[in-house]
Amino acid sequence: MSSRIKILPSHLINQIAAGEVVERPSSIVKELVENSIDARATQIDVELLEAGKKKIVIRDNGCGMTKEEVELCIERYATSKINILEDLFKVKTLGFRGEALPSIASVSYFTLISKTKDTVEATKLFLEGGKKQASKIVGAPIGTEIQVEDLFFNTPARLKFLKSNATELSHCIEIVEQLALAHPMISFKLVHQEKDVFFLPRATLLERILAVLKEKPEVFVPIENNASQFHLSGYVGLPRFMGGTSRQCYTFVNRRPVRDRTLLHAISAAYQSFVPQGHYPKVVLFLETEGEDVDVNVHPAKREVRFKETHFVHSFVEKSIRQVLGQLRSAGDKLNSHVWLGGAEGEAPSPRPQFTRTDDGESPSATGPKDEAEGTDSYFSLYPPDHRIQVLREGATEAFTQTGYYRNLHYIGQIKSSYLLCEDKDELIFIDQHAAHERVAFEKLRKQYRDSVLQQQYLLVPISLEVTQEEAVLLTELSQELSQLGFEIEPFGGTTFLIKAVPSLLHDHISIEVIRSVIHELKEVSKTLVGDEIINHHLATLACHSARTAKEKLSREEVSALLSELDQIKVAPHCPHGRPFDFRVPIVDIEKYFRR
């Protein structure tokens, strides 16, 4: 009886391994550009056809390979980066496993040409589906050129999972820009369909950051600190230049781009007293270590790392950023447009509730607490219990006469300018003003969309939007979706676009960062949702950006209007993203607590 367990052939093993290493064209671009960087190249060119699906060419002027090395490099686990197990914990190169080239070659038509400075001729190697077809001597400059054609030609099922050319191109741009940020002394050029996408000449780190992120020098301040075997450097953005997504938080470990939770949480914690919830700083940080404090061999695509002393790294990064921001504050720099709430060196604010009560029945907007701009940091605004909710309707304030749960609540006041405190005869009701406004705006937008009358507001002066290369590709790809949502955005040359019209609900909240946030959210949701789910998410995104924010004081009339609109909602009390917008505490529970 023959054995049911068999050893797989090498070409099938490579194709299986390619599933971990080669997800899409950008995965190939990443692996090959990293090899060029490890080869000490000073110039790297990337050429793509059909966003890399048809052809990828990576060309560098690095050290190149000899004929023997060319023959070996396409074998699995053939590498010049490590020799023993301990080397894994000291590796400083971007590649080290020896998996990438054979995995890429196994799912494409693969051509490699390489020459060293000590050889007269170059070696050219051609593989089809991982199988060697030809090897010969050719003429070529010093360095290496790799061509990957007809990706996934022999695994058509994998090909079906690729997205549109614009989406795949945006991923390639993102990868090259990340590596370009980490290596400013290398020039990078990206070409798509024989047209230049961008060229980044050799530069200083700050010059490279400004070129990639399309920002101005005043946005960033340098950071540098040492602790134990760790060295932290880079640039941190001033809080007043915050963004709507975390995509502009770039973190690198030993010059390797990573998305590490420890580092991202440390950045978030350092900016906690400066940046409102839902906004993110612009940061480019490099963490270097000479010891065995980090393991880079924990993810197939090497996107993640594991620190030996996670808590130490978190504390080191957080304190280093706080120190820089604290020094700026001490020097009198205006960190943002809001009142500083922190203590020394960016400590979190300590609660200082102040209570203001109006006893004459006047509108709280006239006799209530002073505005924050006048120096009052008030958390609560209390109003007389006998003053019933009123609403502004057609320019006049009229009491509601019809039955409605929310409008008939007794409004007490605002907590931390974020939550509305109300009561009825049986309960205390806390309402998250942002989540509640978000739900109201979402229902309005959804009705307008269903009725094909999504209201649009043309701008008196169009907004000029300078975007990154990746964002320019996304704007082109998502033009139809943006148009359906009420945006009118036109190209204005290069990576500049003009915003001519926006959804009416978003008119008072429009900004460049809001547009950027909408673009990236549209891109991310298209990966997992389909049909009406995508439309609902798009509308929810617009509703979120158009809603009144936390930390925003509301007048009594605005509160009354919101409560009235909540009564029109025929769904469970939560925002479109699933967060509840009200929380109820029975009076009997309060009485039990006080042993009444």
Tokens 């909602």 -> residue: 569
Report the mean per-residue pLDDT for the chain: 79
- Across 163-177, 372-386, 510-524, the highest mean pLDDT is recorded for 163-177
Whether 306 and 215 map to the same domain: the answer is yes
Tokens 């979120």 -> residue: 544
Averaged pLDDT for residues 122-135: 92
Domain boundary among 294, 313, 337: 337
| Nearest by Cα to 188 from 44, 80, 71, 289 | 44
**Pairwise pLDDT comparison (12 vs 47), residue with the higher score:** 47
Letter for the amino acid at 532?
Answer: D
Whether 189 and 259 map to the same domain: the answer is no
Domain boundary among 201, 219, 247: 201
Helix (H, G, I), strand (E, B) or coil at 358: coil
Residue 354 CA: distances (Å) to CA of 273, 338, 365, 387: 20, 19, 17, 21
Kindly state whether residue 387 falls inside one of the protein's structural domains: no
pLDDT score, position 452: 75
pLDDT score, position 63: 94
pLDDT(359) > 70: no
Kindly state whether residue 481 falls inside one of the protein's structural domains: yes
pLDDT score, position 373: 35
Beta strands 488-491 and 294-295, pairing class: unpaired
Q: Do 435 and 575 meet the contact criterion of CB atoms below 8 Å apart?
A: yes
Kindly state whether residue 87 falls inside one of the protein's structural domains: yes
Whether 120 and 212 map to the same domain: the answer is no
Residue 340 pLDDT level (bands cut at 50, 70, 90): very low
Beta strands 249-253 and 256-258, pairing class: antiparallel
Whether 115 and 218 map to the same domain: the answer is no
Kind plus residue range of the DSSP H or E element containing 273: none
pLDDT(347) > 70: no
**Alpha-carbon radius of gyration of the chain:** 29
Residue 349 pLDDT level (bands cut at 50, 70, 90): very low
Q: How far apart are alpha carbons 133 and 115 in whole angstroms?
A: 20
Averaged pLDDT for residues 243-257: 86
Residue 103, domain CATH = 3.30.565.10
Whether 464 and 555 map to the same domain: the answer is yes
Whether 159 and 235 map to the same domain: the answer is no
Q: How far is CA 261 from the centre of its chain?
A: 13
Tally of domains within the chain: 3
Q: How far apart are alpha carbons 185 and 205 in whole angstroms?
A: 8
DSSP 53-115: TSEEEEEE-S----HHHHHHHTSTT--SS-SSGGGGGT--SS--SS-HHHHHHTTSEEEEEEE
Q: Which domain holds residue 307?
A: 206-337
Whether 213 and 182 map to the same domain: the answer is no
Residue 354 pLDDT level (bands cut at 50, 70, 90): very low
pLDDT score, position 338: 33
Q: How far apart are alpha carbons 427 and 588 in whole angstroms?
A: 8
Letter for the amino acid at 241?
Answer: F
Whether 163 and 109 map to the same domain: the answer is yes
pLDDT(127) > 90: yes
pLDDT(146) > 60: yes
Kindly state whether residue 417 falls inside one of the protein's structural domains: no
Instruction: Please state which of the ranges 314-323, 333-342, 414-423 shows the lowest mean pLDDT.
Output: 333-342
Whether 277 and 319 map to the same domain: the answer is yes
Taking residue 246's Cβ as centre, other Cβ atoms within 10 Å add up to: 16
pLDDT score, position 210: 95
Residue 453, domain CATH = 3.30.1370.100
Tokens 């190149």 -> residue: 64
Whether 183 and 247 map to the same domain: the answer is no
Kindly state whether residue 508 falls inside one of the protein's structural domains: yes
pLDDT score, position 85: 57
Averaged pLDDT for residues 193-204: 94
pTM of the full predicted structure? 0.67
Residue 280 pLDDT level (bands cut at 50, 70, 90): confident
Residue 276, domain CATH = 3.30.230.10
Angle at 338 between CA 335 and CA 342, to 5 degrees: 70
Residue 350 pLDDT level (bands cut at 50, 70, 90): very low
Instruction: Please state which of the ranges 145-159, 160-174, 302-316, 380-394 shows the lowest mean pLDDT.
Output: 380-394
Domain boundary among 317, 337, 357: 337
pLDDT tens digits, one per residue of 406-459 = 988 999 999 988 999 999 988 999 999 999 998 998 888 888 888 777 788 888
Kindly state whether residue 581 falls inside one of the protein's structural domains: yes
pLDDT tens digits, one per residue of 479-532 = 887 887 788 888 888 888 898 988 887 766 667 777 777 777 766 665 555 556
- Across 134-143, 257-266, 288-297, the highest mean pLDDT is recorded for 134-143
pLDDT(34) > 80: yes
Whether 248 and 195 map to the same domain: the answer is no
Torsion sign across C-alpha atoms 17, 19, 23, 25 = positive
Q: How far apart are alpha carbons 250 and 37 in whole angstroms?
A: 19
Kindly state whether residue 361 falls inside one of the protein's structural domains: no
pLDDT tens digits, one per residue of 534-554 = 677 778 878 887 788 778 889
pLDDT score, position 432: 93
Averaged pLDDT for residues 283-297: 82
Instruction: Please state which of the ranges 9-23, 99-113, 356-370 shows the lowest mean pLDDT.
Output: 356-370
Q: How far apart are alpha carbons 510 and 503 in whole angstroms?
A: 9
Kindly state whether residue 61 falls inside one of the protein's structural domains: yes
pLDDT score, position 332: 52
Instruction: Please state which of the ranges 17-31, 301-315, 373-387, 465-479 shows the lowest mean pLDDT.
Output: 373-387
pLDDT score, position 540: 81
Residue 90 pLDDT level (bands cut at 50, 70, 90): low
3-state secondary structure 498-542: EEEEEEHHHHHHCCHHHHHHHHHHHHHHCCCCCCHHHHHHHHHHH
Torsion angle of C-alpha atoms 356, 362, 364, 365, degrees rounded to 10: -130
pLDDT score, position 149: 96
Q: Do 202 and 188 meet the contact criterion of CB atoms below 8 Å apart?
A: no
Whether 184 and 259 map to the same domain: the answer is no
- Give helix 469-477 / helix 512-525 axis angle, nearest 10°: 60
pLDDT(377) > 50: no
Across the beta sheet with 488-491, what order do the strands follow?
Answer: 456-466, 496-503, 488-491
pLDDT(6) > 80: no
